[in-house]
């Protein structure tokens, strides 16, 4: 099992999730949206699994800095994908992916415990 965590390294939630994985002895790779980039094909796969609305962080500063026209235009999968590719900090995080078909968005110890046990079996 090869897990990949997607996010931005200086995000507090990412730091908590990484610390939890390390404390549990779970091996993973970290993919920083800013440093490592994000290709459209991978983002489309995430959108297919999770939906574009859950992936779009409309509570963060990146969303609030957009002008009203940009926020209004983000009303369908293609527009959301284009916006997330342009502004990767707008993607909710962390996103944990097993490289197959299991993807988890967000962090809580309970959800991570359940996810790890599911992908490990």
Domain CATH for 22: 3.40.30.10
Assess contact for 34 and 58: CB atoms under 8 A.
no
pLDDT above 80: residue 1: no
* Helix, coil or strand: residue 48: helix
Assess whether pLDDT exceeds 90 at residue 2.
no
pTM of structure: 0.92
The stretch 54-62 carries a mean pLDDT of 94
What is the domain extent for residue 45? 3-120
Give the integer Cα–Cα distance in Å for 5 and 114: 16
Report the pLDDT averaged over residues 93-108: 94
Mean pLDDT of the chain: 95
8 Å CB contact between 89 and 59: no
Residue 29's pLDDT band (cuts 50, 70, 90): very high
**Mean pLDDT on 20-49:** 95
Residues that are catalytic: 11
As for how many domains the chain has, the answer is: 1
The tokens for 78 are: 């293609």
């Amino acid at each position: 099992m090869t897990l990949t965590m997607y996010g931005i390294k200086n995000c507090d939630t990412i730091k908590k999730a990484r610390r939890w994985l390390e404390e549990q002895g779970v091996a993973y790779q970290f993919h920083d949206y800013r440093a490592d980039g994000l290709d459209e094909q991978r983002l489309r796969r995430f959108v297919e699994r999770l939906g574009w609305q859950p992936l779009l962080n409309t509570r963060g500063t990146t969303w609030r800095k957009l002008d009203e026209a940009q926020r209004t235009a983000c009303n369908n999968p293609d527009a959301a994908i284009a916006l997330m590719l342009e502004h990767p900090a707008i993607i909710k995080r962390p996103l944990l992916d097993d490289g197959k078909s299991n993807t988890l968005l967000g962090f809580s110890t309970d959800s991570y415990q359940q996810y790890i046990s599911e992908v490990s079996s």
